Structure 1
Amino acid sequence: MIDQDTDAPLAHGPIQACKTFEEFARVLSPYFQFYSKKDSFHGEVAILTVFDGTKELDEKLATSVRGRVVLINAHCQVDVSFYGKDQHALAVKGGARAVVVFGAVQNVATLRKSEMAVLALGNSPRLARDDIGITRGGYIRAESGRISSADYIVGNRDGVVVVEKALYEKRFDVTSR
C-alpha cells in the first residue's frame, strides 16, 4: 500500500490494522469493488447520507470533504447510482482522499482512470436526479458495526477496515497524512 501524499510504502494497511486492533477493527463487507485505477486509501471518515437525489450531495462533495475518505450512504441501493462522473469531479475538486459508496456508481469507464480510490457495491446506468435530494451527516450502520466521522478507514485490495480514530492515532502516526 502506498502513502497517498508521498508515494512511499504505507506500513499500516488493512491486514496490519486487523492484527493490531483485533476485535476493534471493523472489516467492511467483501462485496465492495474498486472502480478506480487507484486501489488503496486511508484517512479520516466523512459520512454523507443521501435521499432521493444528488443536489445537496454535489454541494457537500465540492465544499465539505477535504482530506477525508467520503462514505456515501446510499442505503445499499444498486438500481440507481448516486455517484457518477460529475460527483467524482466534485469529490476530486473538493479534496476527498477516496470515496466508498454504500450503493452503486455510474460512468465506470471514467472512474477506472481515476487516481482517487472509488469503491462501491455495484454499478447502475441510472443516475439519481440532480434537481432534488437531501444529504445529511451522521453514521452508517454496517454489518461490521456503526461507522461515524470519529473513525479512521484504511483499505486496499486485501479489504477495508474501520477503526476508531483515537485508537488508530495511538498506534500509527496519521497527523502528517
Structure 2
Amino acid sequence: MASLATSDICDSNAKHVPTGDLRVLQPIFQCYGHRRAFSGPIVTLKVFEDNVLVRELLETKGEGRVLVVDGGGSTRCALVGGNLGQLAQNNGWAGIVLNGCIRDVDEINGCDVGVRALATNPLKSNKKGTGEKHVSVYIAGALIHDGEWLYADNDGILVSKAELST
C-alpha cells in the first residue's frame, strides 16, 4: 500500500487536527525496518514486558494493517525482535509502532516492514501471555483506537479516525 506523505496530509487536513480527527504523535520514536513509510488500519495491543500477544497478532494475516503496541514505555526489555519482524513481513503487516523497545536491529532493518520503537534493548521479554487486544491506548500524547488509520514516514506519525486520500 502506497503511503501518503505525512506533511502533505497535515497540510490538506489541518482543520481536522484541532478536532482530534487527525492526531500527530509526539516525535519520540526511532525508525527501523526496511519500509520507511507505511500506512494502514490500526490493530491495538496493550502489554507490559511480555510479548506473547504481540506474536499471536503477528501470526495472523496482516492485510496491510499496522500493529500499535502500548508497551507502557518500558525500556527494560524488547517486545519485538528479528523473528517477529520476519513474521510481520511474511504475514503482510505494513508496520509496527511500539511504545517500548526492539532488539535484533540488523535483522529488523532487513525486513520489508516499517517499525517505530522508543529504543533498543538486547534483553527478551517475559512470556506470560498477559495484556489486552483491541483496546484504546494512549501513546506519544495521543489516544489511539483499534480500527483507526496510521500514517508514518520520516517526518512523523499520524493517526486518523478514517482513511485519508490526501
Range class of TM-score, shorter chain: 0.7 to 0.9
Matched, 1:121 2:112: no
**Cα distance, 1:59 vs structure 2:** 1.7
Q: Over residues 111-137 of structure 1, what are the superposed CA-to-partner deviations in whole Å (9 max), with x where a residue is unaligned?
A: 12122111101111111023x222322
Report the CA distance shift for 1:47/1:21 in structure 2 as closer, same or farther (over 3 A): same
2-side partners of 1:99 and 1:143: how far apart?
14
Matched, 1:82 2:79: yes
Residue in 1 aligned with 2:36? 39
1-side partners of 2:117 and 2:104: how far apart?
12
Matched, 1:14 2:6: yes
The one of 143, 147, 155 aligned to 1:146: 143
Report the CA distance shift for 1:135/1:60 in structure 2 as closer, same or farther (over 3 A): farther
1-side partners of 2:24 and 2:141: how far apart?
6
1-side partners of 2:131 and 2:90: how far apart?
19
The one of 52, 55, 59 aligned to 1:58: 55
Which 4+ runs in 1 deviate beyond 6 A?
Answer: none
User: Which one is further off, 38-47 or 90-99?
Assistant: 90-99
Residue in 1 aligned with 2:129? 133
Match for 1:35: what amino acid?
Y
Report the CA distance shift for 1:145/1:53 in structure 2 as closer, same or farther (over 3 A): closer
Match for 2:108: what amino acid?
L
Alignment check: 8 A CA contact 1:46 1:69 kept = yes
Paired residues for 1:157-168 under 5 Å: 157-165=154-162, 168=163
Residue in 2 aligned with 1:95? 92
What TM-score, normalized by structure 2, do the two folds share?
0.86
2-side partners of 1:101 and 1:38: how far apart?
15
Alignment check: 8 A CA contact 2:85 2:113 kept = no
**Cα distance, 1:52 vs structure 2:** 4.3
How many residues align structurally? Answer: 160
Alignment check: 8 A CA contact 1:46 1:65 kept = no
Matched, 1:111 2:108: yes
Report the CA distance shift for 1:48/1:64 in structure 2 as closer, same or farther (over 3 A): farther
**Cα distance, 1:150 vs structure 2:** 3.1
Match for 2:5: what amino acid?
G
Identity, % of aligned positions: 22
